[in-house]
């Protein structure tokens, strides 16, 4: 399994190296697309409206349906296509009186926005939501429902956890077609599979003169004021004449599960590693370095980031 993952990593970098050399514009566009996709996948579900329903003929408590917007759920490709939807588990909650139940149903935010702009579409979407709940929970709901004055029943954290607990199935990769994969297919497969025993290599050409970004930034609107510095080890590798050759930095990131969470910035004399809401590390480098030829590798199994920075050659 690990060998297959490493083979796909090597194949990916071979394709990326060819693209970077032969079509730099397409290479930069691909990086932007991957960053946008990572941002979409990281965005949490957000509450939109709450429905109050009741199982037909039941004496029990009410059923609250949290209708949420979630960028991870794709929008329909065309108006006539089926509407993608994701639903969490049904959960019974003890209230002040009788028990009540909660279930979360998520659509792409664009679907909900179109419903807000057209009352008929919103009514259709609500009926679709109730049908989804009936099918998922194997029950029949009363045709009567209420749109509550609040957008969410229960806590935001619990709703997001219930929806995020539903894992998307990873596509299977047949051994006899690996060499025929396109770049887009290979990227999608590597993102979907958990290759925790194989390193994910990062290398990006500098797009600015001052600092080159080696890991695409995933922005966050909620940043902690104080971030804990991670444990790190930095050494300077020298040749037989004690001339510095490169700087090697090992950073432990136990709270990081994917390299897309990290942001690495480097200049000729300093380096900054930031993981929104988790870590921030800023170091002055002991030697002037060549930022554009820096390489980095994130080992998902060990949760460790390895960075190699060549020392800049002296001016003649």
> Averaged over 132-151, what is the pLDDT?
87
- Give one word for 303, left, alpha or beta, with left for phi > 0 and alpha for psi -120 to 50: left
What secondary structure letter does DSSP report for 168?
P
- Nearest CA to 255 out of 283, 231, 222, 220 is that of 231
- Cβ neighbours, 10 Å, residue 166: 13
> Averaged over 81-110, what is the pLDDT?
85
Q: Yes or no: say if 133 and 103 are a contact pair by the CB < 8 Å rule.
A: yes
Q: Give the pLDDT confidence score for residue 193 in this predicted structure.
A: 43
Q: Give the pLDDT confidence score for residue 251 in this predicted structure.
A: 92
Q: Give the pLDDT confidence score for residue 221 in this predicted structure.
A: 37
| 248-300 residue pLDDT tens | 999 999 988 877 788 888 888 889 888 888 888 889 999 999 888 888 888 88
Higher pLDDT, 92 or 21: 92
**Residues shown for the chain:** 316
- Nearest CA to 35 out of 258, 237, 243 is that of 258
Structural domains in the chain plus CATH codes: 46-164 (no CATH), 198-316 (2.60.40.790)
| 41-60 residue pLDDT tens | 677 899 999 999 888 765 56
- Give one word for 250, left, alpha or beta, with left for phi > 0 and alpha for psi -120 to 50: beta
> Averaged over 131-144, what is the pLDDT?
86
pTM: 0.45
% of the chain exceeding 70 in pLDDT: 68
Look at residue 112 and tell me whether its pLDDT is greater than 90: yes
């Amino acid at each position: 399994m690990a060998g297959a993952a490493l083979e796909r990593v090597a194949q990916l970098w071979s394709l990326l190296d060819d693209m970077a050399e032969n079509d730099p514009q397409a290479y930069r566009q691909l990086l932007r697309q991957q960053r946008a996709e990572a941002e979409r996948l990281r965005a949490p579900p957000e509450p939109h409206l709450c429905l109050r329903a009741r199982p037909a003929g039941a004496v029990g408590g009410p059923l609250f349906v949290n209708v949420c917007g979630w960028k991870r759920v794709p929008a329909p490709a065309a108006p006539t296509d089926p509407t993608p939807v994701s639903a969490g588990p049904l959960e019974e909650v003890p209230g002040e009186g009788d028990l009540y139940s909660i279930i979360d149903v998520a659509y792409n935010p664009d679907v909900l926005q179109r419903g807000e702009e057209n009352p008929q579409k919103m009514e259709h979407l609500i009926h679709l939501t109730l049908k989804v709940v009936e099918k998922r929970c194997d029950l029949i709901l009363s045709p009567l429902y209420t749109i509550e004055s609040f957008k969410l029943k229960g806590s935001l954290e619990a709703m997001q956890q219930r929806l995020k607990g539903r894992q998307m199935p990873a596509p299977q990769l047949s051994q006899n077609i690996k060499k025929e994969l396109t770049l887009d297919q290979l990227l999608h497969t590597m993102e979907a599979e958990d290759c925790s025993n194989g390193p994910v290599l990062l290398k990006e050409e500098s797009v600015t003169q001052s600092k080159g970004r080696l890991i695409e930034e995933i922005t966050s609107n909620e940043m902690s004021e104080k971030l804990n510095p991670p444990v790190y080890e930095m050494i300077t590798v020298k040749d037989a004449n004690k001339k510095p050759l490169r700087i090697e930095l090992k950073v432990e990131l136990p709270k990081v599960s994917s390299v897309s969470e990290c942001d690495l910035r480097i200049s000729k004399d300093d380096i900054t590693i930031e993981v929104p809401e988790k870590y921030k590390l800023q170091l002055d480098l002991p030697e002037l370095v060549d930022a554009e030829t820096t390489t980095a590798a994130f080992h998902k199994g060990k949760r460790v980031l390895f960075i190699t920075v060549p020392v800049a050659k002296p001016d003649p």
